[in-house]
Structure 1
């Protein structure tokens, strides 16, 4: 597995296709392929936000380091740390293949955890990106204003394109 670290920035939108198919934005797809040396998207439900988190296999080493850092920090502060629970949160991701065009099938259990039924908004977040149902993103507070505006614009563009067909 490749170890190249990547950062995801920017945004994208994919309308829901048949059979819960979505398309990774080209910019994200390219980074996953380069860093992971393959077409595997990793998805996991976020443990605090009502969205999914996506990344490539290359992030696995970072997750191991994050787990150990969190354990050491808790020990230093004399706080309890549930290693098993935190490990399953970090490593409980689903590995999903995507084709050359970035198409992938969203597992129904992940879609239900993030209330994804229609379009899917992608938002870069450094070593990972988030995937949102637009309705869930629009419930977020003012700190998410730019993401909400970008999502609304991209969703409107996708709807206008669909009407032309």
Structure 2
């Protein structure tokens, strides 16, 4: 599925092909919450980095999160330096994969049949996790990847 996204001020626009376009995973970790999560969590999608086309690349900045041990995450959180919109995350350990933030995607996204709530152990007390009977929830990371979740639900996009 072709995704088009942009920042709030319009300085950055992008297009990317997503084989895992369903916004099913809510991450409550402090990094996602604080860099992209307005509801106390962030929702990331899976896309093919090789297909990424960016207009306004000169307005991008990258943040590499500080980890609890003081080191820096290899993950590159790309955002518009003009308005601060979190656009996508890229981790060089998986060079073909890009994680667009669902909140910056302008293309209508399919509704998930279920939601995976991850990193609930990091959820602040003021954030209510609306976990439904069909949802999965994890204190840390789930075992299934974005691709495996989409395959299990028959939602992988060609």
TM-score (norm 1): 0.27
Q: Write 1 or 2 for the structure with the bigger share of strand.
A: 2
RCO higher in 1 or 2 (8 Å CA, sep ≥ 6)? Answer: 1
TM-score (norm 2): 0.28
> Looking at CA atoms only, which structure, 1 or 2, has the larger radius of gyration?
1
Q: Write 1 or 2 for the structure with the bigger share of helix.
A: 1
